[in-house]
Amino acid sequence: MSSQHDDAIWPSLPLAEWKDTYATLHMWTQIVGKVRLRLCPPVNHFWHCTLYVTSRGLTTSPIPFGNNIFEIDFDFVDHLLLIRTNDGAKRTLILAPRSVADFYAELMATLRSLGIDITINAKPDEVADPIPFAEDTQHSSYDPEYANRFWRILVQTDRVLKQFRSGFVGKCSPVHFFWGSFDHAVTRFSARRAPERPGADPITREAYSHEVISHGFWPGGGAIQEPAFYAYSAPVPEGLDKEPLRPASAFYSQEAKEFFLMYENVRNASSADATLLEFLQSTYEAGAKLAHWDRAFLERSW
């Protein structure tokens, strides 16, 4: 049972306090994620390039290269980037205030020193006004306290999303971190194809090729200026915005076409786990009911 007073479990993460670190870390994770994207065999919905929560940060998991494998880990406890290979080699980069350009140059040089000589698409995805990594001296902040807080929230989110995932036996994504949109998510599928979105880019076209209901955590931005949990159905079934939600603090955004539950409402609840699970389940039920998912076929109780 979590407590509203236990900041070690659910720490505060006001967006205004770490937005510069957030922006820099977003670019660093994109660089690392694009290394995995370049080398891993494609998996539907871009599941082959996501990152995963660990006991110290985020990892690529093993990446193939020739007959070998390597992995890249963000350590938000000691604030290091670790590169390890299956032949025992290890390299370390320090996570500290430094530009994206500097991080990119050192990471690629370090990979080359290990015999991993690759070229990535060296420009950010899913951000406004993207700056090529090699030219980005604008983003150079790193506050270790807030990087650690963000990771600790991911640890709790990962744990609860995995509990929620266990009741679904249809096609379902792993619980994973998308470096493009910088959110931690799990996605359920009805098994039906979705109509193609007019003007969709390749990422969106692949991500929403089938009907989905997705849930996750996001640090905030745009119209949502604080961290929040979200849920959405794609395509959006008619009447979704009218469906009852739990808990009472959850709401539907007409602008985003998504449900939101602000992180502070979870953090300050008498049971953060129960409050978050209530949000996940009620938003799933709303979307599944209106989209006529075969719930008896797709779900099970343990």
Q: Rounded mean pLDDT of the chain?
A: 95
Query: What is the CATH class of 18-135?
Result: alpha beta
Every domain of the chain and the residues it spans: 18-135, 144-298
Both tokens assigned to 163: 């509990």
Q: What is the pLDDT of residues 253-268, one digit of tens each?
A: 999 999 999 999 999 9
Q: What is the pLDDT of residues 189-208, one digit of tens each?
A: 999 998 887 777 877 788 77
In sequence order, what DSSP letters do the residues of 79-111 get, joined into one string? Answer: TEEEEEETTS-EEEEE-SS--HHHHHHHHHHHH
Q: What is the pLDDT of residues 157-186, one digit of tens each?
A: 999 999 999 999 999 999 999 999 999 999
- State the pLDDT at residue 195: 85
Q: What is the pLDDT of residues 13-49, one digit of tens each?
A: 999 999 999 999 999 999 999 999 999 999 999 999 9
Contacting residues for 250 by C-beta, under 8 A, at least 6 apart: 259, 260, 261, 265, 279, 282, 283
The more confident residue out of 32 and 302 is 32
| 3-class secondary-structure state, position 221 | strand
Both tokens assigned to 36: 């995995």
Q: How many CB atoms lie within 10 A of CB 197?
A: 14
Contacting residues for 96 by C-beta, under 8 A, at least 6 apart: 79, 142, 144
